[in-house]
Amino acid sequence: MDEVKPDICCQNTRFDATKPDLPTIEDIQKDNGETEETRICGLETLRQKLKELEDIEACLDEEFLLRFLRVESFDSLRAFQRLKNFYDMQEEMLEMFKHCSIDASVVQSMPYFWALPYRPKNNSALLVVTMGAPDFSRMTFDEKSYLDLIATNTLLMNPLTQMCGVSLIFDWSGFHLNSFLAFKPVSVIRLMNHMLKSYPMRIKEIHVVNIHEIFRIVCNIFYFVLPKELRSCVFFHPNDGWESLHESIPPEILPQEYGGHLEHSSMINLLDDVGKLEKQFGELFRFGYVKTQKLRQSLSLITPGKD
pLDDT tens figures, 72-107: 999 999 999 999 999 999 999 898 888 899 999 999
Strand-by-strand arrangement of the 125-130 sheet: 234-236, 203-209, 166-171, 125-130, 113-115, 268-269
CA 50 → CA 46, 65, 81, 162, 196, distances in Å? 6, 11, 10, 21, 21
Instruction: Give dist(CA 126, CA 65) in Å, integer.
Output: 23
Cβ–Cβ < 8 Å for 257, 285: no
pLDDT tens per residue across span 168-222: 999 999 888 788 888 877 777 778 888 889 999 999 999 999 988 777 776 776 6
pLDDT of residue 2: 43
At position 149, the amino acid (one-letter code) is L
